[in-house]
Structure 1
Amino acid sequence: MEQQIAAPESERPVPEKRSSRFSHAWRALRHRNFRLYFTGQSISLIGTWITRIATSWLVYRLTGSAFLLGTVSFAGQIPTFLLAPFAGVIVERMDRRKLLVWTQVLAGIQSLLLAALTLAKIVTIHEILALSVFQGLINAFDMPGRQSFLIQMVTPREGKPDRTDLGNAIALNSSIVNLARLIGPAIAGLIIAAVGEGWCFLIDGASYIAVVASLLMMQVTQTTAQKPTLSMVEQLREGWSYVTGFQPIRTILSLFALISLMGMPFMVLMPIFAANVLHGGPHTLGFLTGASGVGALVSAISLAVRKSVRGLTTMIQLSAFCFGAGLILFGLSHHLAVSLVLMLVTGFGMMQGLAASNTIIQTLVPEDKRGRVMSYYTMAFVGMAPFGSLLAGALAHRFGAPHTVIFTGSVCVLGGVWFSTQLRSIRRIMRPIYVEMGIIPGEEQTAQATEHTLSGS
């Protein structure tokens, strides 16, 4: 009888750990820094959404003007459009964590100032406009800094930038944004009805403590504050040339800018739909915004369970159609139940396009241009919205809110049609990059896999 010799321990197969079928959906949380960020943001973002709802309701209560609703949104977002490219260069020259600490502290101060004025019953539209501009200045630096800091949070402290978990981190970040978007408006509606808008701003100001604490507790290796070899003007020119010369990023940002201009400002008109179209109050506004948040949360979760960025260009295409169609039908609805369902659809389409675009761009962009490229992403996302808010407010004042969202939704659908015509060419450019990153197999790997399959059969 032949004696069996046990294999050395180092050569024995390691038993696979049993895990949930969808355990990869939260894989970015294995990184301590991202766990801290996730926790702090989960608290702070609820306060942010409480303030957004309270601000729009306060403006409409003080003025009763659709145009001023758009004007306040414009004032809060136009600084981002004007400063984002410069902010992108500065982000690449600074310690991104320190930058985010300062932006969060200043944002907290802004909310506390708004709370003090409102609780003292001396707030006017002029103070709201001024503080909205201040918040816009903060966001111009905060958003590109936050987006380009994500990769550091999912990279081992002593390791090189690793994009393996980046897409999952973006999806989880979108999840907490939209979970807050679901919870925040509902809380805001209750607080406004009970004690007024001022307490909403006070709660928001206090919530920034959580995210500041999470940033200070992180341990990151500083890789961004390197002495620049080019002037700011030269870096601006280099970043612009890259964005406009690389078709995949140029095409995605163009569609994103169109949807931000025409579609996303529908939120500015929500108080009008809540009060005049659906004949409700602050609670109705909270339900509508919350329903949009549920749809966006479902979208973010669907992206989190994905194992790869493959197929996301198709999701961008479909999201434009979904978002546009949802807006058109929402503009036609006069029933709360139907409008809530359509807000689910609209929120899903909006977030699917936003997160999928972010993931693809951050996957493609080289590390030395990340801050500048994400500043243009911020410019397309937030920077175009002020013009859209102003346009939406003016159109709603002239033609009514329902006709306005029907028109803007139609433009979003047409944008999806245009993007469809560009898909083949941008996929052809992206393919070799994905092959080099190991996201999709190259011809050699495909041939080896085929040969292995045939030899085993």
Structure 2
Amino acid sequence: MQEKSITSHTYNKLKAGFISLRSPNFRKFFIGQTTSFIGSWIQNIAMGWLVYRLTGSIALLGVVSFSSQIPSLLVTPFAGVYADKLNRKKVMLITQTVMMSNALLFAILTLTNTITVWFIILLSVINGIIVAFDTPFRHSILSDLLEQKEHLSNAVALNSIMVNTSRLVGPAIAGFLIAQFGEGICFLINSLSFLGIIISLLTLKIEIKPNKNNNFSPKAILNELTDGIRYARSNAGFKKIFLIVFLSSLLCLPIQSFMPAYAKDIFHGNSETLGVFSGMFGLGALIGAIILGQISNPLKLVKMIGIAGIMLSGGIILFSNSSLLYVAYLALAIAGFGMINQFASSNTIIQVFAKSEYRGRMVSLYNVSFLGLTPIGSLILGFAAQHIGLKTTMTISCIIFMGVSISFLFRHKFVKHKIQYQ
């Protein structure tokens, strides 16, 4: 009898981890995004491999990463203001269609053997601008999709599961496709995958609440952005969360840009090795996201940010200094687990505890910290790696971040108090 009770409790707890999928709108969006994100990861892996195959330069890997992600630093803060003012569904239909067209152009140029590294940089910048504008809308629309707003924390966690399931599946598919058919087919598949999210958006039934503030003058937009930054800075808890996300993006996340160099030069592998590396990183992230989905109290996630930062930096240090493939796989899984727990915990806390009228701008500031600093880190660490070596560069940067994470862990009670009683 007791055994039945334990089994029933476990089942109910697992079921509760997917509770936000009861909302039809969120369920459609979840499925559409999953399809699209798998395609995006297939393209990301193919892009890195193509650049390194054409140039053999670690620095250029950093340049391409910089060109695709630097728009997040420049565009996303303003996009966050618009995400609080515009129809999120209509804007996303436009951005997803443009990204689909961009991927198709990548495919045509690659399949016709007319692609060059300069074309890659140019198209990466264009795609980066659209992604930067789309991101605050994609994150802030989650609350519009739920029938019960208290399920937002679970929706954010499930969104992380979706992203990291895609991170696990996409690279594995990409590694096989590159080896068998080349990079061009990967870009074509990504273009077609956008149909998933576009169809899901077209079928969403969302109640559109007209925004009272329709002033779109440059001065008004700048004032609202400044107001959002002022709100984020006014709370010491939010400030510390933004800081650790900022430093993690700068010092640790560039590892993803350098995976082709690790796979080819350090572990003497091929595109399939690269796919497995990214897949193991994604596997760790997926496990972390599933565990995160079981935590119903978002305040418990504050401590997780510090612990996860230690795991992320420690996993990358182990990976960079390992010579055995199976140790490298384990290290990447640990790093992926730490990465998703840190970023998803931060994102959940910001969305749950930020005032609703500031949510779009807070999400955009989070994404600037998360995505906007990674390209700068990739550029700086990429050029450093050309002079002192990739292993040494990543080890030093991650040791610095581990110290930051330990400091945050000791201060997590202070952070929890500040975000709760703002």
TM-score greater than 0.5 by the shorter chain: yes
Q: Please name the residue that 2:3 is paired with.
A: none
Q: Does 1:249 align with 2:249?
A: no
Does residue 22 in structure 1 map to residue 14 in structure 2? yes
CA gap 1:127/1:300 in 2 versus in 1, 3 angstroms: same
Q: How does 1:110-129 map to 2 (within 5 A)?
A: 110-129=102-121
Q: What SS class does the counterpart of residue 54 from structure 2 fall into?
A: helix
Distance 1:405 1:165 in 2: 38
Which residue is 2:169 aligned to?
183
Q: In structure 2, what is the equivalent of residue 50 of structure 1?
A: 42
Pick the aligned partner of 1:413 from 393, 399, 402.
402
Q: CA deviation at 1:420?
A: 2.8
Supply the distance in 1 between the matched residues of 2:262 and 2:11 (Cα, whole angstroms): 46
Equivalenced residue count is 412
Identify which of 90, 107, 126 aligns with 2:99. Answer: 107
Q: Which runs of 5+ in 1 are unaligned?
A: 1-15, 157-161, 434-457
AA aligned to 1:188 is A
TM-aligned CA deviation for residue 17 of structure 1: 12
Deviation, structure 1 residue 29: 0.2
Is the alpha carbon distance of 1:190 and 1:77 closer, same or farther for their aligned partners in structure 2, counting shifts above 3 Å? same
User: What CA deviation, in whole Å up to 9, does each residue of 1:243-290 have, x standing for no partner?
Assistant: 111111111011000000110010111111101111100000001000
* Displacement after TM superposition at 1:19 (Å): 6.0
Contact 1:323 1:412 in 2 (8 A): no
Q: Residue 328 in 1 paired to residue 317 in 2?
A: yes
Q: Aligned to 2:123, which of 127, 131, 136?
A: 131
C-alpha deviations, 1:321-348, integer Å up to 9, x for none?
1111111111110111110000000000
Moved more, 349-358 or 323-332: 323-332
1:75 alignment partner in structure 2: 67
Counterpart in the other structure of 2:5: none
The one-character-per-residue Cα deviations of 1:301-327 (angstroms, maximum 9, x if unpaired) are: 001112221310110010111111111
Aligned to 1:430: 419
Asked if structure 2 preserves the Cα contact closer than 8 Å seen for 1:266 and 1:392, the reply is no
Q: Map Cα deviations across residues 31-87 of structure 1 (whole Å, 9 max, x no partner).
A: 011000111111111100000000000000010100000000000011110111111
Say whether residues 1:170 and 2:156 are aligned partners: yes
Residue number in structure 1 paired with 2:278? 289
CA-based RMSD of the aligned residues comes to: 1.6
Q: Retained in 1: the 8 A contact 2:237–2:417? A: no
Give the corresponding residue for 2:250: 261
Contact kept? 1:325, 1:413, Cα under 8 Å: yes
Give the Cα–Cα distance (whole angstroms) in 1 for the partners of residues 170 and 418 of structure 2. Answer: 41
Structure 1 match to 2:181: 195
Q: Is the 8 A contact 1:259 1:415 kept in 2?
A: no
Q: 1:18 to 1:334 in 2, by over 3 A?
A: closer
Mark the runs of 5 or more structure 2 residues left unpaired by the alignment.
1-7
Q: What is the match of residue 79 of structure 2?
A: 87
**More helix as a share of residues:** 2
CA distance in 2, matches of 1:184, 1:169: 22
The match for 1:210 is 196
Structure 1 residue 367, shift from structure 2 partner: 1.1
Deviation string 1:150-206 (CA, Å, 9 cap, x unpaired) is 1111136xxxxx2x1111111111111111111110110111001100000000000
1:262 and 1:409 in contact (8 A); partners too: yes
CA distance in 1, matches of 2:239, 2:151: 24
Question: In structure 1, which of residues 24, 40, 43 is the aligned counterpart of residue 32 of structure 2?
Answer: 40
C-alpha spacing 1:233/1:431, structure 2 compared with 1 (3 Å): closer
Measured in 2, the distance between the counterparts of 1:431 and 1:143 equals 26
Conservation of the 8 A alpha-carbon contact between 1:322 and 1:346: yes
> The residue matched to 1:20 in structure 2 has which SS?
helix
Aligned match of 2:368 in 358, 364, 379? 379
Amino acid aligned to 2:156: I
Within the candidate set 177, 195, 207, 1:221 is matched to 207
Report how far residue 428 of structure 1 moved: 2.2
1:236, distance to aligned residue in structure 2 (A)? 1.4
Identity, in percent, stands at 37
Higher gyration radius (CA): 1
Partner-residue secondary structure (3-state), 1:231: helix
Amino acid of the structure 1 residue aligned with 2:174: A
TM-score (norm 1): 0.88
Q: 1:335 to 1:44 in 2, by over 3 A?
A: same
- Partner deviation per Cα, 1:377-428 (whole Å, 9 max, x = no partner): 1100110011011012112211121112211211220110231343232222
Aligned mates of 1:257, 1:387 — CA distance in 2: 11
